[in-house]
Each structure stands twice: as C-alpha cells, then as structure tokens.
C-alpha cells in the first residue's frame, strides 16, 4: 500500500458535479485530484441537458436555485469554452410545454412565467405537434446545453489544462478517517492495486452511487432510458416538454428523446423493450411524424435522488468532508450554482443570505433530525 499527494482538494466522482467543482477550484489555482470509478456511467453523459427551471415546474427553493443557476450559466460556460476551446452548445432555445386543456395549464406551477400559446400558435412553434394538444406555455427563459457531446468533455479539458490530476478506474472503497477528520480515500485502481490517496479537503460527488461510499447518505438511483432520432432539415427548433416525454433538438438535427423514470430499477443496466416502447409512445403523443425518423442511439443512466427530491450540498459531520450530490433530474441545470457555492463554502468566503438559505435547505443534516 502506498500513500500519495498531500494538500489536495480530493474529489470523489468525476461526473458532472465533480468536474464542475474541480474546475472551480482548479481555475482558482488549487491543486485538485479527481477519482473516477467509471467515466462513462456518469449521468452527465446521459442527461438531455435541458435548463428547465420553468418548464419543469420547479417550486420553492428549487425554483430559486434553478433561476440563480440559469443566471450564472452563460458566464460559467463562457469561461469553460475559453479555457477548453470547446463550444458547449448552450442555447436559449425556449421550451414549449403543451396541455390538453386550460384547467391543466392554469394549474401548472410556473404558469405565470410562460407565454400562453393557443393551438394555432402552438403549431407555429412546433410544426407537426399532435392535435390533442390545444394549448401551450412557451418558456423563453429556458434552454439547453449539449452535455453529452460537449460540456462534459469541455470540463475535462479545461480541468486538465488547469492541472487537475485525473484517475480513471479509481473506485473509492472507503474513506480513511482519523478521529473526526478524513485523511483521504482507499482506492482500488484500474490495475488492481489498493492505494491510499490523501487530500486536505475531500468532496464526495458520486451521484447515484454516493451511498456506497458514505452509508448514511439517503441517495438512491432513479433509472432513465433515452434515445435519439435524426430529424430532417428544419425540424423543431424549440424543446418540446410533454408530461412523460420530451424532445430536445440539437443544432445538427439530432433530437434527444427522454426519459423513463424508473425508481425500482436499482442499478440494472441496459435499455429494455418496455422502456423503448414507452419512449416511442411518447414521441407519438407529441410529434407523430417523428416516429418515422431514424433512431440513432439508445442509452440509459441513473439519476441521484433523495427522499425529498432536493440535492444534498455542503458540510458533513466530518470536519473536512463535504458532499454535493442528489441533483436528481436537474443536475445539468444546477451544476453552475453548485460549484460556485461549494467553492465559497470550502474557502470560507462570505455567502449572501440566499446562498446561506440554500445550504440550510439542502443540508445533509435535514435527514438526520
Ligand atoms: C435520463 C436522464 C436525463 C436527465 N436529463 C437532465 C436534463 O435534461 N437536465 C438536467 O439538468 N439534468 C438532467 N439529468 C440529471 C443529471 O444528469 C444529474 O443530476 C447529474 O449528472 C448528476 O451529476 P453527478 O456528478 O452527481 O453524478 P454523475 O454525473 O452520475 O457522476 C457520478 C460519478 O461518480 C463516480 N463514482 C461513483 N462511485 C464512485 C466511487 N466509489 N469512487 C469513484 N468514483 C465514483 C461514477 O462513476 C460517476 O462517473 C438527467 C439524468 C438522467 C439519468
């Protein structure tokens, strides 16, 4: 067994949240190391990339968290793009939420933030939309980012150019504790060796797998299956967000279709006939002609969920151990604000009232009382 590196911000989990936090520290000249069990299982490579505070109908502190993150995202992405040289595909494309009747539309939590569309205008926004939908709300504030093909890679490259040390295939088996302090992590690496990796401050960002590393974290996986279709030239431009399915058009005509919400699937791998059928039914209910467009790819992943569907961000009872996990369906949206707050918290920078409230509402100890 060998010990390595001291004075490091040690990040466990190289998914979207881990990379976002690593980037924040690295660009502020910290020494950062990222331990990643399996890059390709990260939900960051799965998500549809919607930035959908309003279209998701978020409420209360999640709504404000989403809005504030959406405000940070343009500047955050500009930095990542400059540092990585990779365009992340950020687009304020607007998201259209269709409704069968006005009653449902008026009950929608974020109704007052949307622009009302009657059926004629709904058809103008989404040519070919199923005629079952008679009304719609257009959330022009919402948009998307190409997390799968661009943002994740851009973060990796930007981190790497800022000196972040990566270890792929590094499975953290346990945290090394001395009294109430973490010394680092015991890791089984890709070549089968067990090593102790040390860090001054340790941040746990293991997404849906977080509970495996810290047993009392109330995190469980919610599986989501996805597919993509290749649309013809000039197909939809806005995201179409139905009750069970959404269509997210990228610039190159690829349309990302999601997603199943399977809270009993545990970590069962793979697409299933039931899942793909459900997505196809969803396409038919939203944009029937798109059923004829070729399917390009099927994939799946695991959302990190908590009992109250809100993230867990901040300190733990162990003095130098922090967590940032449980972002469930909105981790892409929340990544900018999470990395910003985590950096300020760990560096003991002044937090404003709203940031302090987020840390209280999303604290780990809300589950321990
Ligand atoms: C189908 C689907 C669609 C989604 N769509 C959207 C969307 O449109 N908009 C949005 O905002 N969000 C969306 N999300 C949510 C978003 O993807 C997640 O909230 C976000 O990726 C969580 O990031 P994370 O870093 O916590 O977890 P992940 O990105 O999953 O990363 C966790 C990483 O930790 C690593 N790890 C685990 N255990 C260990 C260990 N013991 N040692 C070392 N490393 C470990 C894993 O290998 C993994 O790479 C979607 C998610 C899914 C599944």
Give the Cα separation of 290 and 78 in Å (integer): 33
Give the Cα separation of 245 and 3 in Å (integer): 48
Q: Ligand 1, atom 2: nearest CA belongs to which residue?
A: 47
**Is the pLDDT confidence value at 2 over 70?**
no
What pLDDT score was predicted for residue 4? Answer: 46
Domain ranges of the chain: 3-82+148-217+308-367, 91-144+220-305
Output the average pLDDT for the chain. 96
**Range 341-364 average pLDDT:** 96
Cis before residue 259, ω within 30 degrees of 0?
A: yes
Binding site membership of 152 for ligand 1 (Cβ less than 6 Å): no
What pLDDT score was predicted for residue 233? Answer: 87
Residue 50 CA, closest ligand 1 atom number: 8
Q: What is the pLDDT of residues 58-82, one digit of tens each?
A: 999 999 999 999 999 999 999 999 9
Give the Cα separation of 246 and 255 in Å (integer): 10
Give the Cα separation of 273 and 292 in Å (integer): 18
CB 134 within 8 A of CB 100: yes
What pLDDT score was predicted for residue 234? Answer: 84
Binding site membership of 259 for ligand 1 (Cβ less than 6 Å): yes
**Is the pLDDT confidence value at 144 over 80?**
yes
Which distant-in-sequence residues (6+ apart) come within 8 Å of 286 by Cβ?
98, 129, 130, 133, 240, 242, 245, 247
**Range 176-197 average pLDDT:** 96
Q: Which CATH class is domain 91-144+220-305?
A: alpha beta
What pLDDT score was predicted for residue 369? Answer: 56
**Is the pLDDT confidence value at 1 over 60?**
no
Q: What is the pLDDT of residues 303-347, one digit of tens each?
A: 999 999 999 999 999 999 999 999 999 999 999 999 999 999 999
Give the Cα separation of 156 and 141 in Å (integer): 28
Which distant-in-sequence residues (6+ apart) come within 8 Å of 301 by Cβ?
41, 42, 43, 45, 46, 47, 223, 224, 226
**Range 262-278 average pLDDT:** 98
- Among 142, 350, 316, which residue's Cα sits nearest to residue 239? 142
What is 3-82+148-217+308-367's CATH superfamily? FAD/NAD(P)-binding domain (3.50.50.60)
Q: Ligand 1, atom 6: nearest CA belongs to which residue?
A: 47
**Range 141-157 average pLDDT:** 98
**Range 117-144 average pLDDT:** 98
């Amino acid at each position: 067994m060998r010990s390595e590196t001291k004075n490091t911000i040690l990040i466990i989990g190289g998914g979207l949240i881990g990379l976002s936090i690593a980037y924040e520290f690295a660009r502020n000249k910290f020494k950062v190391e990222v331990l990643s069990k399996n890059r390709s299982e990260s939900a960051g490579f799965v998500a549809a990339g919607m930035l959908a505070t309003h279209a998701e109908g978020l409420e209360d502190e999640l709504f404000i968290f989403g809005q504030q993150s959406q405000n940070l995202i343009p500047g955050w992405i500009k930095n990542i793009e400059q540092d990585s040289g990779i365009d992340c595909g950020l687009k304020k494309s607007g998201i259209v939420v269709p409704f069968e009747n006005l009653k449902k539309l008026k009950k929608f939590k974020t109704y007052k933030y949307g622009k009302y569309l009657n059926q004629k205008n709904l058809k103008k926004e989404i040519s070919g939309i199923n005629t079952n939908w008679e009304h719609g709300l257009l959330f022009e504030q919402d948009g998307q980012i190409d997390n799968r093909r661009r943002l994740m890679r851009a973060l990796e490259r930007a981190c790497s150019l800022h000196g972040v040390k990566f270890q792929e295939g590094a499975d953290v088996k346990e945290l090394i504790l001395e009294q109430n302090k973490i010394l680092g992590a015991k890791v089984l690496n890709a070549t089968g060796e067990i090593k102790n990796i040390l860090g001054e401050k340790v941040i746990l960002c293991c997404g849906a797998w977080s509970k495996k590393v810290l047993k009392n974290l109330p995190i469980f996986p919610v599986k989501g299956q996805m597919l993509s279709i290749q649309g013809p030239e000039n197909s939809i431009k806005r995201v179409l967000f139905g009750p069970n399915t959404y269509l997210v058009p990228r610039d190159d005509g690829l349309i990302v279709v999601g997603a199943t919400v399977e809270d009993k699937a545990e970590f069962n791998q793979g697409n299933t006939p039931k899942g793909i059928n459900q997505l196809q039914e969803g396409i038919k209910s939203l944009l029937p002609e798109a059923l004829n467009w070729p399917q390009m790819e099927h994939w799946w992943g695991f959302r990190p969920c908590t009992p109250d569907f809100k993230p867990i961000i901040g300190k733990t009872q162990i003095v130098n151990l922090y967590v940032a996990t449980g972002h469930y369906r909105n981790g892409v949206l929340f990544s900018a604000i999470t990395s910003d707050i985590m950096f300020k918290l760990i560096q003991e920078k002044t937090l404003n009232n709203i940031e302090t409230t987020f840390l209280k509402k999303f604290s780990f100890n809300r589950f321990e009382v």
